[in-house]
Amino acid sequence: MSLSEITQKVFRLVEEASGLPVHVEPDSNLPKNILAKLTMARGKMPFHQVTYRPDHWASADYLIVYQCGFLLRHYAVPLSDRVDFASTDLAESTVGQWVRNNPKTPGLPQNGIDGLTSFLINGILSQLSLVPVGLRVDSWILTEYPELSALQREAATKQLEENATGLRPGVLGTLPDQALAARLAMSAAFSIYWAEKFGQPEISLPYRATGHLATGQALFDLWRGFPDDPASDQSLIHAWAAKLGLQGWYRWVHRPAS
């Protein structure tokens, strides 16, 4: 495996910031919608691990640098501010109620309710914790490493296509409206960012047609109004949560020194 000098440079930045190296390996078991995954060092694990789907090796440099961007932002704040993101009982009870009372899927068995509740919580909170910060990482890559722009565009296009599956009739006609509103608003904000970067406003039009673009624009405006500073990441996530009505769904868990 041969990674670019840019990727090697970013590895050195991570090691300088964290004191630990980055280990990279392919993982054919990653879900199709996850092109790469970051596992930060903790406990006795002596490195940060980035795995990627081997069928996306051509884009590996961008995918790996993107994951390293989260590491650099994590270690750019004082130890006391380095936290993990975890769901709360309120998230489970709220989404469970949405699923049980959803008129689109009456009579779901309990195992179906439990499975869909877990799926929705994980999806919504993953977007909440990753999308606004991920856009910061992408902006950093655009500025610092324009050589990766072609790979970045390819990956962004794939993510836009994946997000658009949430607009399919089968999804709109099945999931609770409250969950759809949160998920699609964050997807709309993501689309607005890339529509602006690509100069293609039509990218966001599907979210206008389903009535989710206005909230997506509000989220994007919040994102643009916050300082591009890792110290502001938690406040940015809080602001998105407040706009989406997700306050109390998550908590910050302080990480041990690593």
Tokens of 24: 């990279």
Which of 18-22, 23-27, 52-56, 75-79 comes out lowest in average pLDDT? 52-56
Task: Compute the half-sphere exposure of residue 135: CA atoms within 13 Å on the CB side of its CA.
Answer: 29
Residue-wise pLDDT tens digits, 39-91? 999 888 899 999 999 888 888 999 999 999 999 999 999 999 999 999 999 99
Would you put residue 33 in left (φ > 0), alpha (ψ -120 to 50) or beta?
alpha
Extended strands (E) in the chain: 22-26, 36-39, 48-52, 83-87, 250-254
CA dist 172 and 180 (Å) reads 7
Q: Is the pLDDT of residue 187 over 80?
A: yes
CATH class, range 5-75: alpha beta
pLDDT band at 203 (very low <50, low <70, confident <90, very high): very high
Domain ranges for the chain: 5-75, 79-254
Q: What count of other Cβ atoms lies within 10 Å of the Cβ of residue 218? A: 16
Average pLDDT rounded to a whole number, residues 159-186: 96
pLDDT band at 258 (very low <50, low <70, confident <90, very high): low
Q: Is the pLDDT of residue 254 over 90?
A: no
Task: Compute the half-sphere exposure of residue 60: CA atoms within 13 Å on the CB side of its CA.
Answer: 19
| Placement of tokens 């930060």 in the chain | 40
CA dist 47 and 42 (Å) reads 8
Say what the pLDDT of residue 256 is.
Answer: 67
Average pLDDT rounded to a whole number, residues 184-211: 97
**In this predicted model, which residue has the larger pLDDT, 42 or 27?**
27
121 and 97 Cβ atoms separated by less than 8 Å: no
Average pLDDT rounded to a whole number, residues 195-216: 96
